[in-house]
Every structure is written in structure tokens, then in C-alpha cells.
């Protein structure tokens, strides 16, 4: 038995040492220049989102946005205008788990039939981060539209894209609005203790200190916490004027409810992540909606023709979802639509060029996105492909007919970037 | 100097005195039996002699050496080993492995040497397996070396358990009702077998209910009742001792025997 | 502040206690930790919500009864399908435990599929009314109702196991399963009933918790399962009284620490106490030290 | 009865299990030559799960302790090698001794409370222990970079020779699988291994035979934790990104399923268990209608496997099958001391 064993070990050693002589099936060096269209001219896009698990609703909304953009393109006769040149989206479910994201990346990167032009997703930053190495090594564009982790773009080489602001700008602007515009001095902070929440806390606190305001309390809670009463009781002692919440929409509803239960009366603010119709409907039913501040990335100009066309198809394809959200479109659906719209634009631009649409040409074109007329105002990829979006203060106000709605203060005489010294 | 000295051993479980001021001695080369009705504290004595229970008071001397403060591993290393009232074999291990476990403290290599193949480990294992063959011959289980211990019939399992205890070459072998559940023919065979064990161990403490077995092979008998020693002596004396009869047969039985005299 | 935290702790403690009784009941009978209990907690809350919005529009009490019935059947079916065949072969409980993990995955994923990951408002009893103490502490009536309910259920359960025939049957099962077989008791039916009762308890605590939060989302059962389980062991596994006291202690400590300290520290402490406790007195607060039967 | 014994003796000496193991390893070794990098990645994670599964099987199958927190040691191994790279730039080989040391310490720390209590507390202690370690990973920001996780962990460097290509990495993991299997079998077929199995079957009888229960429990926990730590370190370098969300109780449950599906105490079974339970979710990913019911099918399979292996109706069917190739299959461990 011992002889048998040593023979086997020797075989394995030889195989691993002879690594360099095998065929190059691991890293598709040449793929980035391969024309992305398959034999009948269609382009394939991988959509990797948490279709099951605790963020499945967000995944559903993003997919809706993508489908609306595709339906619009279909009505215009697809890419070539004559019904050919379709874009085929293949969904993958990463169940919000990092290892799943990495496994899907491997599948997308190595698949030759269908040959994917790019990958859209995933929803949470750490799932996208788990896959960034694979996409970078295989040189496949990774469009993590909702990833705001500061390490995502730098570590993705030049193959990563995102439609979310990184927190160093976004969180600082929120601090500018709260302190400089709304004039709050006594501020307490609640944040979810994950990579997103932690980052927002760091930049928000730093910016507040720059404005000479020291936070009364800064309470992080472990994900999965549902009883916030004790944290809120601690905060109530500090008698804050404003409580800033960097948390998901499920948490803010609980926090607002329980704050009411323990009699913590002050102003409340959420970040763009929880400025959603679902928060509006939940809080309205509990009578706590009035006055909640929020942040809205980009302006949703309801009269804008691009938005009107998008809303038309939205109502047509998803009437129930539209009605549930009190006749407004979901934020993540807008972002999904924008993402797909930019992809369609980049493909159409590169189709005309000599090399045709390849991963490399698509990536180079997409990186030059400038003042792209999207559903949420103009999108521009600044240096390092950082997205520059305008952020507006937003609030739930009571309309004449007694109902509540999110409104954006777009025309206020206040420039957050100047206050934070970004300009 | 006697092999084993037990002086004023006492233990109580939450007020109930299980063994009350028990003293006796065991001589070398003898089979000493411990008898008494159920609940007399026989098994508790064995548990105290193997370190499972620590007595409230009293002391035990093995070859003059005090056993105070020993833990179960020291009891085994110093020369105690036992079988159990209801058989406790290692169900997933083979017959051979069960016996190897019995002699594990005599196999002279530690956990570190167990982790990789080395000469010391190989030689020790080979010698141990040879010794297992001898023990298997002695208990008549040569053919079952690689069978699972639970697949053996009841009588063989009993013998295996004794073989396992033998494998650790104890000075004092404690047998807890070895003959339980056996038919008369097996009992006679077992008595002979226990008698033959005397040339492997220094002394045997036997707990048994079957009077035929006790009377046929015991050199000295100690009778317990409610944890206290009520009689000690040769088998013939014990047979006629009135307290013993009363303890066993109750008051009525005593007159009957007196009448029969 | 102190009283507010105390009240938070007591209310949360009663939810832990209710779930812990479910674990303790099944553990005391089968020495099996029923992992699917946390999933039943979630499923029953989801079923309550769906029923409330569809079949028994607005009638909380009717929906509650329907949910209890559903949970009871679910518990019985889980035992019948996933636990009984494995338990009867007698290979030790590890395998029944793994099967209950399988059931947990199934139930959780079915709920996630059916319910989506959004948060929805949940009906509650005596909404909006609350008592204001002298130092401004506000106590909701729902908190008091839950505390009363958990103590009530504890007394009912102890009375049930002491005096009724099936109750005594359940207790005798926990002493010696095989002996009950010999006595001709319908062991399988009794174990089925104990699973059903355990699941109903999980349903009650699930609905109570959602009423306490006045909202429901699919991550509602996640944290509670582990905490209730820890409470069971802290109080002395298998002892109903122990799981209730263990639940209250754990919750009160958790609330005080996250009130004065921060929520991360409270998680450290609640699990840390458990391990320290097991180091000092492994059998838990009410467990008796067992003499090793050799 | 006579010839039957002779045959079992031959089988025992030849070790049919080792034969099956080495044949499987040969087959797995040639896989990279036929398969694209996606499937190769699945086999890589299957190989890592083999080491992780064997480490738990050592603890459960041989040591007799069901641990619900094995992901904790996996995490300690992963974070040790990642932090050594993140703070000091060490590569895999230089961090390896530390991986072994810290995993061993983590195993030791769990062994102490574990050996003081009876079986029924096993579940809650291991669960809480893993939960505490996860909290430490999440909040010790200075060392583990906290919730942000550690990114861009480089490929494995073996004495300066970087394993850049996937199949090289895969073969390296296979070598470690073989080495782990061999070392574990050395341990199992030794005095220590026998003593541990005796403790597993009946701790009172084992104590009566003079086996020091506490020290043996500590040894088995430490060794099992070391192998789990090695698997974690491999995960860190192969996937290149780790954070606290990876090392949760789900990972521990998956590992328990791998061990139990493969058969307690049966290390070749763990190899197949790891293969089956790593490839299965991937296969389900492609089946269109099963799209988001993947995990439900996983749960159903878990229940079915338990039903197949350990239930009376399942046993009846298996008995019929067993009578067909009765001689070859070596029986697994039937029962474990009460949990």
C-alpha cells in the first residue's frame, strides 16, 4: 500500500510542475478582442443578482428596469433596426452570498457558447468584490451598478463600472445638507454594521467634524437585528435634534416605529438606499411618514420625455408594482433601466466602428460616458470611472389630498459640493 | 502483606448511604467474592475501586500503596481493571480493536508518535497484535478476530469483555456479574475459565448472584447488605451463617433452615 | 432610561421564552434539538399575514386560530415525514438533526419565494394605546399582553404536563422512551403531538413578535432562533421553567448592554455568558447535577 | 464461517477504501485536461470541501463530537493567511505555519469547555463559539479590516513559484487532499485513533480502560481544527476575497451534510460527499425551471439522504442492494453516542 501511495504522490507532483506545458484553457487572453456578436448577430449579457434571499425584491426591480430598456429597444427593431441584433440577458441567482458570486463569475467568464459581452450585477458590494478578480483576470466588463464600495473600481483594473456614488462624496454631501442647509447641530447616527454602513459612517462623521459638529452618538447594529429599542433608548438620552440612519428600508421602518414607542421625538433622515416607495407606504400606514428627510440621487424630472417613455412601458409591463408604489417607479428599476440604456448605447456606438463590438471596444466606449441623458438626469463617468451624480435633499410631505409623497428639493440655493470643498 | 486492603470505605448519594464503613482484604492468588441482594452496593464498591466514584471516607491500599487522589487512568495503570454488569463493548470496533483498547496503556508510544508511521509505532503495534492472538486463544475467540464486537453472541461478548480487561494485565481483576444471563452449562464453563485466570492476574474480585458459581470457585466471600458488611469467610461458613440467610431469604427462611438443621 | 430598558428586556424576553419552551419541550422528550422550529416561527408569521390580508380580513382572533391550526399540522407533518423514520431506526439523533436542518432550509426558502424580501405592516392588538410612566417611559399594551401571554402559556404547559393524561404521557416519554413502548403507549402519536405543540408555541411567539414589531419581513425568525436556543440551555435544557427564566435573563442583559454600550457588545455578551455559564454550571440554572450512572 | 473470515482478512489488509480513494484521486487529477475553467473552479472548491469535510469527519466520525461551529476554524485559517498578507505581505507558504498554529489554538480553546460537559450541550457551545469568532472577524477592524473584508489576496506562492494557472492550483489542492487523507489515516489506524473511537462508542468504558478523556478530546479538536484551517487558507487564496459573511453557520451545516452524506467515520465517503454536494448546486443552477428553487431542492435532498441512510424503510431497500455486493462495501459507523 505504501508503494502505491508514493507513486500517486509522484504523479500529482509531476502534473502540477508541468503546469506550463498544458493548453491555455484557463485564461482567455484573446477573448477581449473577439467579436461579441454570436452567429445570428445577437449579443449576450449575464445578469447576476440575488433573485432569492433577503434582497430578492431589489433584484426583481433591477431586472424590471433592464427588461423595460430591452422592450424599448425591441420596439425600435432591436440593434439593427430591422429586428436583428437582439440583446439576450441570462439571469444568474447568487443568493446574496460571496462564494456564489465568484462561482457565477467563473461560469460567465469561461462560457464560449453563449459568449458574454459583459456581466451586470451583483447587488451587494461584497458579492461583486468576490468576483472582481475573476472578471479582471479574464478581462470581462463587470457592471456592478449598485456597488459603492471604495475598493471596487480601483481593484477591478479598468473592467469595473458602477452607477453608485462612492461614499466619500455621497456621505459627505449628506452631512453638508444636514448641517449647513438644515442647520442641525445635535446629530445622532445609526448605521448597519456591514461594509456599506461602515463606510458611510466614517465619511459622514469626518465631514461633520469638518463642519465643527461632533456626533452625539454613533450606533452600529449587527445585520439581522430587529429590536432597536435599546439602541434608541441610549440615543434618546443624548436628546438629538436629528437621527441620521444609514440602513436598509426594512430597518428604518422598524427604527421609526420603535422610536415612536419609546417616545424619541426628533427629525429623521435616511440615505438614498431607504428613500423608497415601500418605506413611504409602510410609514404612512403607521402615521409616521410626515417629515422624514431623505436623499435622492439624481433628479427624476417627471416631464422629461425619456422618463415619460420609460414610465409608459413600466405601467404597461408591471401595472401591479406601479400601483403598489402609489404610481411611482421603483428607484432600483430606474437604475436597472439606466444601466441597460448605457449598455445599449455603448453597443450601438461600437457596432459602427471597424473592430465591431468586442469586450475591449465596448469597455473603452462605456468609459467615455458623458452627460448621458438617463431616467435620473445626466450620467457622467469622471476619472477612474467614478460616477458623478447630483444628489438632492428629499422629504415626505403631506399633499393637499391628505396623502403623503416623496418630494425632491431640486431648486434650493445650496451646492453641497462647494460646501464640502469638492468643487 | 495482602494484595488489596479496604479500610472503612463509606459513600453516600444525597443522604442514602450506599456503602457503610466497609473493610476487607484480598489475598494474592485468591478469588474473593462480593455477594449481597440487589442494591447492596456491590457495583458501587467496584466504581470506587476504579476511580469512577470518590469515597466520602475510608482508604484503599494496593500492595500497600494508598490509592487516594488517583484518577481513573492511574487506577488502570497501577493494576485495576474491570468488566461491566451490562456489557459495554465498543460497538463499532472489531474484536481485535476492543482488546487493543484494553491494553492501550501498556502500548509504549504516545499520541505524538501516533501521528506518523515510525519504527517504534510499527513494532509496538505488531507486538500488541501478537499478544491479542494469545488472549483470543485464551478466551476462545480466534475465529472472530475481525468481526464487529456487537455481532458476537451474548456469551462470547462476555468473554470478550473479560479478555479486554485481561489485556491490561491487571493486578486486581474486578468481574461484575460475569455469569448473568447464562445457562447452567455456560456457567460451569465460565467458572472454570475464571479459575484459570488466576495464573494471569494476582487476584480476582468477583460479584455474582449465582450461588453455584460463587461456592464452586471462591476462596473468600464477603456479604454486603444495605452497604454494610454482615459476614466474611470461607464459602462453607457463609452458607450456614444466619445473618446471610436472613438477608437473602428473609425472616421466614431463617426458621425454615433452623428447623431443617 | 433604566425602566425603559427593563421593559424592553422583559418584552423581548417573553418572545425568547415562548420560542425556548418549544425547543425545550421537544428536547426533553427526544433529546433532539429541533432546528426546524425557527423556520416554523417564520412560516407561521407569514401565514398569519397572508391569511389576515385575504381570508379572514381584519379579524385578528380568527386568523390567529387558523394559524395555530396550520402550525400544529405543520409540526405533526414534519415529525411524521422527516423525523420519525430516522428516529425509529435508532442511529442516534445526529441524523434526525440533519434532516431537521433540511426541513429548515425548505421552509425558509419556500417562505422567501412566496413572500419576497420587503417589509410589510403587521396588525397588532390595542394599537397606539400605551401607558406613560412618571419618567416618560412609554409602555405599549402589546408588550404587556405578550408578557402575560408567555407566563400564561408557561402555567398552562406546566399544568398540562402535570395533570392531563397526554401531558403525563409526554413527560414519561422524556424519562424513558422504550419503557413507554412497552407500556403500550401510542409513542409515535405522542411524539407527533409534542412536535405539533412545539410548533404551535413557535407560531404564537412568531405572531407575538411580529405584533410587537408591528412589521413583518422574511428575516424575522433569523436572530430569534439562536437566541431562544441559547435561552433554553442557559435555563437548563429540557426544563420548561428554565427556558422561560433563561429567555428573560438573556433578553434583559442584551437590552441593557445595547442600551448603555453598543449592539455589537450585546451580541458578544449574550453568547459569552452562555459559554461561561456552561463552564461553571453545565446543567444550566435549574438543571440538577446528574450522578454518572456507571 | 471459515472462508468468510479469510476474505475479510484479505480485504482488511488490502484496504478496499484506500483503493477506491486513490483511484478517485487519479480520476480527479486528470479532470483539468478535459474541462473549462468554470467546471475546474467547481472541482477546486469541491477539493477544498474535501479537506474541510475530512477535518469535520475526524471530529465527528472518530472523535464522536458533532460540531456546529466548524466554519469558525475554517475562518481562522482564512483570516490568518489573509491578514499576514494584508499587513506584512507574506505569501501562502510563509503564513502556513501560523495558519496551523492559530487554528490549533482555536481548536484548543473550544476543546476546554467541550470536554467538561455532556453531549447534549455540544450543539449550543459550538454554535455560540462560531458566533463569537464571527463577531470578532467583523469587529476587530485593526487586524481583520472589519466588515470591509480583505480583497485581492494573491495566488498561492510555493517557495517563489507562483501558481498562476487554475489547474496548477487545483493539483496543489489535490496534493493536500491526498496528504490530509494519508495523515488522517495514520492517526486513525494508531493507538490514538483507536482510543478516540473507543471514546466515541462508550466514554465510560473507555475511561475504565484508562484512556485520558480530556487530553484526547483536546488533541482531536486541535488536529481537526488544523485541517479545517488549512482548507480555509486555501479558500482565501483561491477566491481572493474573504469577509465575515462567508464563515457563517450555513457553511458549518453544509460541512455537516457533506460528512453525514459521505458516512460518519468513512473518509472516502467524505470525498464523494464533498463532490456530490458541491457539484449538485452548480448543476441545479443551469436547470431553468429550478432557477430559484435551488435551495429547496438542496433541503429536500438532505432529508432524502438521511431517510435513505438512516431510516427503517430506507434500510430495507439498502439491505436488498447490499446483499448483491455484500463483500466489497466496508460498513460505516452505525451509531454515535447521544448528541
Domains A30-164+330-388 and A167-270+277-301+391-420 share a fold: yes
Asked if C264 has any chain D CB less than 8 Å from its own CB, the reply is yes
C contact chains, 3+ CB pairs < 8 A: A, B, D
What is the per-residue pLDDT across D98-118, written as a single tens digit (0 to 9) for each? 999 999 999 998 888 777 776
Please tell me whether residues B131 and B157 are part of one structural domain: yes
Q: Looking at A116-120, A302-306, D168-172, which range is the least confident one?
A: A302-306
What is the per-residue pLDDT across C147-198, written as a single tens digit (0 to 9) for each? 888 888 888 888 887 788 877 877 777 777 778 888 888 888 888 888 898 8
pLDDT for the residue A7: 63
Query: In C, which residues are within 8 Å of B13 by CB distance?
Result: 291
From the list D41, D148, D166, which residue is nearest A198 (CB)? D148
Query: Which of D241, D248, D298 should we substitute to test contact with A (largest number of A Cβ atoms within 10 Å)?
Result: D241
Q: Report the alpha-carbon distance of residue A365 to residue A373 in Å, rounded.
A: 16
State yes or no: pLDDT of A188 exceeds 90: yes
* Inter-chain touch D295–C109, beta carbons under 8 Å: yes
From the list C33, C85, C229, which residue is nearest D313 (CB)? C85
- C-alpha cell recorded at residue A158: 479598468
Instruction: Calculate the CA B50 to chain-centre distance.
Output: 10
User: Burial letters for D182-215: b for 16+ Cβ neighbours within 10 Å, e otherwise?
Assistant: bbbbbbbebbbbbbbbbbbbbbebbbbbbbbbee
pLDDT for the residue D25: 92
From the list B91, B100, B113, which residue is nearest D335 (CB)? B91
Please tell me whether residues B185 and B138 are part of one structural domain: no
Domain assignment present for residue C291? The answer is no
ipTM of the complex: 0.85
- Give the minimum alpha-carbon distance from C46 to chain A in angstroms, rounded to a whole number: 15
Please tell me whether residues B230 and B162 are part of one structural domain: no
What is the per-residue pLDDT across B141-160, written as a single tens digit (0 to 9) for each? 888 888 888 888 888 898 89
Asked if B83 has any chain C CB less than 8 Å from its own CB, the reply is no
- C-alpha cell recorded at residue A399: 399633499
From the list A12, A15, A22, which residue is nearest D178 (CB)? A12
Cell 471516607 belongs to which residue? Answer: B57
* Inter-chain touch B52–C292, beta carbons under 8 Å: yes
Asked if A229 has any chain C CB less than 8 Å from its own CB, the reply is yes
pLDDT for the residue D37: 80
Task: Report the CATH superfamily, name and number, of domain A30-164+330-388.
Answer: Response regulator (3.40.50.2300)
From the list B100, B116, B168, which residue is nearest D210 (CB)? B168
Query: Which of A91, A129, A149 should we substitute to test contact with D (largest number of D Cβ atoms within 10 Å)?
Result: A129
Domain of C157? 2-221
- Our separate counts of H helices and E strands in chain A read 15, 15
What is the per-residue pLDDT across D187-231, written as a single tens digit (0 to 9) for each? 998 999 999 999 988 888 999 999 998 899 999 999 999 999 999
B contact chains, 3+ CB pairs < 8 A: C, D
Q: C85, C91 in Cβ contact below 8 A? A: no
* Inter-chain touch B13–C291, beta carbons under 8 Å: yes
Q: Which one of B113, B134, B169 terminates a domain? A: B169
SS3 at position D161: strand
For the residues of D229-265, what is the DSSP string, one character each?
A: HHHHHHHHHHH--B-GGGSSHHHHHHHHHHHHHH-TT
Asked if A193 has any chain D CB less than 8 Å from its own CB, the reply is yes
What is the per-residue pLDDT across C199-251, written as a single tens digit (0 to 9) for each? 898 899 889 888 888 888 888 777 787 788 788 878 877 777 888 888 899 89
Question: Closest residue of A to C213, CA-based?
Answer: A254
pLDDT for the residue A16: 54
Q: C202, C19 in Cβ contact below 8 A? A: yes
Asked if C103 has any chain D CB less than 8 Å from its own CB, the reply is yes
Q: Work out the burial of residue A352: count CB atoms within 10 Å of its CB; fewer than 13 is exposed, 13-18 middle, 19 or more buried.
A: exposed
Question: Domain extents for chain A?
Answer: 30-164+330-388, 167-270+277-301+391-420
Q: Give every CB contact of residue D25 below 8 A, 6+ residues apart in sequence.
A: A8, A12, D174, D177, D178
Determine how many CB atoms are found less than 10 A away from the CB of residue D314: 18
pLDDT for the residue A300: 64
* Inter-chain touch B52–C294, beta carbons under 8 Å: yes
Please tell me whether residues B34 and B138 are part of one structural domain: no
What's the rounded mean pLDDT across residues B163-191? 89
Domain of B71? 1-79+171-261
From the list D292, D301, D310, which residue is nearest C86 (CB)? D310
Domain assignment present for residue D332? The answer is no
pLDDT for the residue C21: 82
What is the per-residue pLDDT across A9-50, written as a single tens digit (0 to 9) for each? 666 666 555 544 444 444 444 677 788 788 888 889 999 998
- Give the minimum alpha-carbon distance from D183 to chain B in angstroms, rounded to a whole number: 7
Domain of D127? 21-286
CATH, residue D137: 1.10.3470
CATH code assigned to A167-270+277-301+391-420: 3.40.50.2300
pLDDT for the residue A21: 45
Q: Which one of B169, B196, B229 terminates a domain? A: B169
CATH, residue B145: 3.40.50.300
How many domains does chain D fold into? 1
What is the per-residue pLDDT across A80-102, written as a single tens digit (0 to 9) for each? 888 888 899 988 888 888 888 88
- What φ, ψ does residue B22 adopt, rounded to 5°? -90, 130
Domain assignment present for residue C239? The answer is no
Query: In C, which residues are within 8 Å of B52 by CB distance?
Result: 292, 294
Domain assignment present for residue D58? The answer is yes
pTM: 0.87
Please tell me whether residues B164 and B176 are part of one structural domain: no
* Inter-chain touch B76–D208, beta carbons under 8 Å: yes
Please tell me whether residues B135 and B258 are part of one structural domain: no
Question: Closest residue of D to C262, CA-based?
Answer: D139
* Inter-chain touch D171–A16, beta carbons under 8 Å: yes
* Inter-chain touch A13–D241, beta carbons under 8 Å: no
How many domains does chain C fold into? 1
Domain assignment present for residue C257? The answer is no
Query: In A, which residues are within 8 Å of C5 by CB distance?
Result: 230, 233
Residues paired with D110 in a beta bridge: none
Amino acid at each position: 500500500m505504501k508503494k502505491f501511495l508514493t507513486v500517486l504522490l509522484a504523479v500529482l507532483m509531476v502534473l502540477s510542475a508541468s503546469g506550463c506545458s498544458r493548453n491555455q484553457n484557463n485564461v482567455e487572453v484573446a477573448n477581449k478582442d473577439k467579436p461579441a456578436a454570436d452567429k445570428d448577430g445577437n449579443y449576450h449579457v449575464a445578469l447576476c443578482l440575488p433573485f432569492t434571499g433577503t434582497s430578492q425584491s431589489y433584484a426583481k426591480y433591477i431586472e424590471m428596469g433592464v427588461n423595460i430598456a430591452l422592450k424599448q429597444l425591441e420596439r425600435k427593431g432591436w440593434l439593427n433596426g430591422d429586428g436583428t441584433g437582439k440583446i439576450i440577458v441570462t439571469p444568474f441567482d447568487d443568493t446574496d452570498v460571496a462564494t456564489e458570486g465568484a462561482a457565477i463569475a467563473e461560469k460567465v467568464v469561461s462560457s464560449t457558447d453563449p459568449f458574454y459581452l459583459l456581466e451586470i450585477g451583483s447587488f451587494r458590494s461584497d458579492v461583486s468584490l468576490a468576483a472582481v478578480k475573476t472578471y479582471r483576470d479574464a478581462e470581462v466588463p463587470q457592471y456592478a451598478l449598485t456597488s459603492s464600495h471604495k475598493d471596487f473600481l480601483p481593484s477591478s483594473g479598468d473592467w469595473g463600472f458602477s452607477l453608485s456614488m462612492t461614499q466619500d462624496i455621497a456621505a459627505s454631501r449628506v452631512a453638508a445638507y444636514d448641517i449647513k442647509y438644515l442647520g442641525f447641530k445635535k446629530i445622532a447616527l445609526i448605521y448597519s454594521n456591514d461594509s456599506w454602513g461602515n463606510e458611510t459612517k466614517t465619511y459622514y462623521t469626518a465631514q461633520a467634524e469638518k463642519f465643527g459638529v461632533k456626533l452625539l452618538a454613533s450606533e452600529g447594529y449587527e445585520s439581522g437585528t430587529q429590536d432597536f429599542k435599546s439602541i434608541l433608548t441610549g440615543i434618546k438620552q443624548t436628546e438629538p435634534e436629528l437621527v441620521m440612519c444609514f440602513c436598509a428600508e426594512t430597518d428604518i421602518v422598524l427604527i421609526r416605529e420603535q422610536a415612536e414607542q419609546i417616545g424619541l421625538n426628533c427629525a429623521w433622515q435616511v440615505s438614498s438606499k431607504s428613500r423608497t416607495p415601500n418605506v413611504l407606504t409602510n410609514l404612512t400606514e403607521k402615521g409616521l411618514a410626515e417629515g422624514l428627510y431623505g436623499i435622492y440621487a439624481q433628479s427624476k424630472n417627471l416631464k422629461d420625455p425619456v422618463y415619460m417613455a420609460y414610465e409608459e412601458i413600466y405601467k404597461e409591463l408591471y401595472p401591479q408594482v406601479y400601483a403598489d408604489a402609489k404610481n411611482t417607479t421603483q428607484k432600483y428599476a430606474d437604475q436597472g433601466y439606466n444601466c441597460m440604456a448605457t449598455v445599449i448605447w455603448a453597443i450601438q456606438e461600437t457596432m459602427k466602428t471597424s473592430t465591431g463590438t468586442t469586450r475591449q471596444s465596448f469597455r473603452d466606449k462605456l468609459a467615455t460616458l458623458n452627460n448621458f441623458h438617463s431616467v435620473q438626469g445626466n450620467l457622467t463617468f469622471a476619472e477612474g470611472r467614478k460616477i458623478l451624480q447630483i444628489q438632492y435633499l428629499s422629504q415626505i410631505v403631506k399633499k393637499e389630498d391628505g396623502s403623503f409623497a416623496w418630494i425632491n428639493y431640486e431648486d434650493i440655493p445650496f451646492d453641497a459640493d462647494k460646501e464640502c470643498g469638492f468643487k | 502483606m495482602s494484595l488489596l486492603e479496604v479500610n472503612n470505605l463509606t459513600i453516600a448519594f444525597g443522604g442514602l448511604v450506599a456503602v457503610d464503613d466497609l473493610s476487607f482484604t484480598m489475598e494474592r492468588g485468591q478469588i474473593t467474592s462480593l455477594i449481597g441482594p440487589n442494591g447492596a452496593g456491590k457495583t458501587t464498591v467496584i466504581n470506587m475501586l476504579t476511580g469512577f466514584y470518590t469515597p466520602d471516607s475510608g482508604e484503599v491500599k494496593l500492595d500497600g500503596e494508598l490509592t487516594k487522589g488517583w484518577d481513573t487512568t492511574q487506577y488502570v495503570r497501577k493494576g485495576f481493571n474491570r468488566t461491566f454488569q451490562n456489557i459495554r463493548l465498543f460497538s463499532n470496533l472489531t474484536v481485535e480493536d476492543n482488546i487493543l483498547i484494553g491494553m492501550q496503556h501498556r502500548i509504549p508510544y504516545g499520541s505524538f508518535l501516533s501521528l506518523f508511521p515510525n519504527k517504534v509505532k510499527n513494532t509496538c503495534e505488531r507486538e500488541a497484535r501478537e499478544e491479542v492472538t494469545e488472549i483470543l486463544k485464551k478466551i476462545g475467540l480466534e475465529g472472530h478476530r475481525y468481526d464487529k464486537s456487537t455481532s458476537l453472541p451474548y456469551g462470547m461478548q462476555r468473554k470478550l469483555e473479560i479478555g479486554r480487561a485481561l489485556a491490561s494485565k491487571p493486578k486486581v481483576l474486578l468481574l461484575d456479574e460475569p455469569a448473568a444471563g447464562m445457562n447452567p452449562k455456560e456457567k460451569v464453563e465460565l467458572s472454570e475459565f475464571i479459575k484459570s485466570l488466576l495464573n494471569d492476574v494476582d487476584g480476582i474480585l468477583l460479584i455474582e448472584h449465582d450461588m453455584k458459581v460463587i461456592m464452586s470457585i471462591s476462596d473468600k466471600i464477603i456479604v454486603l447488605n444495605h452497604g454494610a458488611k454482615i459476614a466474611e469467610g470461607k464459602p462453607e461458613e457463609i452458607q450456614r451463617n444466619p445473618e446471610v440467610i436472613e438477608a437473602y431469604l428473609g425472616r421466614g427462611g431463617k426458621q425454615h433452615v433452623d428447623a431443617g438443621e | 432610561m433604566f425602566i425603559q430598558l427593563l421593559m424592553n428586556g422583559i418584552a423581548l424576553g417573553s418572545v425568547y421564552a415562548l420560542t425556548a419552551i418549544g425547543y425545550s419541550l421537544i428536547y426533553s422528550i427526544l433529546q433532539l434539538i429541533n432546528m426546524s422550529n425557527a423556520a416554523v416561527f417564520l412560516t407561521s408569521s407569514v401565514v398569519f399575514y397572508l391569511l389576515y390580508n385575504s381570508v379572514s380580513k381584519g379579524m385578528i382572533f380568527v386568523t390567529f386560530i387558523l394559524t395555530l391550526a396550520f402550525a400544529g399540522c405543520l409540526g405533526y407533518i414534519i415529525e411524521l415525514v422527516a423525523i420519525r423514520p430516522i428516529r425509529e431506526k435508532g442511529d442516534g439523533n445526529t441524523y434526525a438533526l440533519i434532516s431537521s436542518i433540511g426541513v429548515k432550509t425548505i421552509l425558509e426558502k419556500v417562505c422567501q419565494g412566496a413572500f419576497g424580501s420587503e417589509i410589510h405592516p403587521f396588525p397588532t392588538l390595542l394599537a397606539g394605546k400605551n401607558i406613560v410612566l412618571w419618567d416618560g417611559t412609554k409602555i405599549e399594551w402589546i408588550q404587556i399582553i405578550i408578557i402575560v401571554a408567555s407566563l400564561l402559556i408557561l402555567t398552562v404547559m406546566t399544568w398540562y404536563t402535570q395533570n392531563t393524561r397526554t401531558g403525563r404521557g409526554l413527560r414519561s416519554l422524556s424519562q424513558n422512551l422504550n419503557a413507554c413502548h412497552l407500556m403500550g403507549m401510542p409513542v409515535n402519536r405522542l411524539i407527533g403531538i409534542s412536535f405539533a405543540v412545539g410548533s404551535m408555541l413557535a407560531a404564537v411567539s412568531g405572531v407575538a413578535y411580529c405584533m410587537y414589531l408591528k412589521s413583518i419581513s422574511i428575516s424575522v425568525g433569523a436572530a430569534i432562533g439562536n437566541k431562544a436556543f441559547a435561552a433554553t440551555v442557559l435555563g437548563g435544557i429540557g426544563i420548561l421553567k428554565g427556558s422561560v427564566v433563561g429567555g428573560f435573563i438573556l433578553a434583559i442583559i442584551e437590552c441593557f448592554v445595547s442600551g448603555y454600550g453598543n449592539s455589537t457588545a450585546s451580541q458578544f455578551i449574550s453568547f459569552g455568558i452562555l459559554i461561561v455559564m456552561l463552564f461553571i454550571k453545565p446543567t444550566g440554572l435549574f438543571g440538577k447535577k446528574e450522578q454518572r450512572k456507571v | 464461517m471459515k472462508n468468510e473470515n479469510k476474505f475479510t482478512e484479505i480485504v482488511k489488509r488490502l484496504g478496499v477504501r484506500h483503493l477506491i480513494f486513490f483511484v478517485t484521486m487519479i480520476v480527479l487529477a486528470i479532470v483539468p485536461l478535459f474541462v473549462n475553467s468554470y467546471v475546474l473552479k467547481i472541482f477546486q472548491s469541491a477539493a477544498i470541501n474535501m479537506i474541510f469535510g475530512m477535518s469535520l469527519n475526524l471530529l465527528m466520525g472518530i472523535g464522536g463530537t458533532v460540531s456546529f461551529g466548524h466554519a469558525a476554524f475554517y475562518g481562522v485559517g482564512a483570516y490568518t493567511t489573509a491578514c499576514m498578507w494584508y499587513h506584512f505581505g507574506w505569501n501562502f507558504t510563509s503564513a502556513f505555519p501560523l495558519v496551523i498554529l492559530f487554528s490549533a489554538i482555536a481548536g484548543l480553546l473550544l476543546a476546554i469547555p467541550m470536554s467538561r460537559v455532556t453531549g447534549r450541550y455540544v450543539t449550543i457551545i459550538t454554535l455560540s463559539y462560531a458566533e463569537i469568532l464571527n463577531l470578532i472577524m467583523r469587529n476587530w477592524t485593526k487586524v481583520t479590516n472589519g466588515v470591509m473584508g480583505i480583497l485581492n489576496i494573491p495566488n498561492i506562492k510555493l517557495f517563489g513559484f507562483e501558481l498562476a494557472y487554475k489547474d496548477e492550483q487545483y493539483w496543489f489542492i489535490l496534493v493536500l487532499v491526498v496528504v490530509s487523507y494519508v495523515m488522517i489515516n495514520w492517526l486513525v489506524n494508531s493507538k490514538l485513533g483507536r482510543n478516540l473511537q473507543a471514546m466515541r462508542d462508550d466514554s465510560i468504558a473507555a475511561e475504565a480502560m484508562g484512556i485520558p478523556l480530556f487530553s484526547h478530546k483536546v488533541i482531536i479538536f486541535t488536529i481537526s481544527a488544523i485541517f479545517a484551517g488549512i482548507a480555509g487558507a486555501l479558500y482565501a487564496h483561491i477566491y481572493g476575497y474573504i469577509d465575515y459573511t462567508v464563515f457563517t453557520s450555513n457553511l458549518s451545516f453544509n460541512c455537516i451534510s457533506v460528512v453525514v452524506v459521505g458516512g460518519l467515520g468513512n473518509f472516502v465517503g467524505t470525498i464523494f460527499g464533498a463532490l456530490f454536494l458541491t457539484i449538485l448546486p452548480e448543476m441545479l443552477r443551469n436547470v431553468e425551471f429550478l432557477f430559484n428553487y435551488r435551495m429547496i431542492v438542496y433541503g429536500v435532498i438532505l432529508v432524502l439522504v438521511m431517510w435513505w441512510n438512516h431510516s427503517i424503510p430506507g434500510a430495507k431497500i439498502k439491505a436488498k442492494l447490499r446483499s448483491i455486493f455484500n463483500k466489497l462495501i466496508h460498513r460505516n459507523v452505525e451509531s454515535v453516542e447521544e448528541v
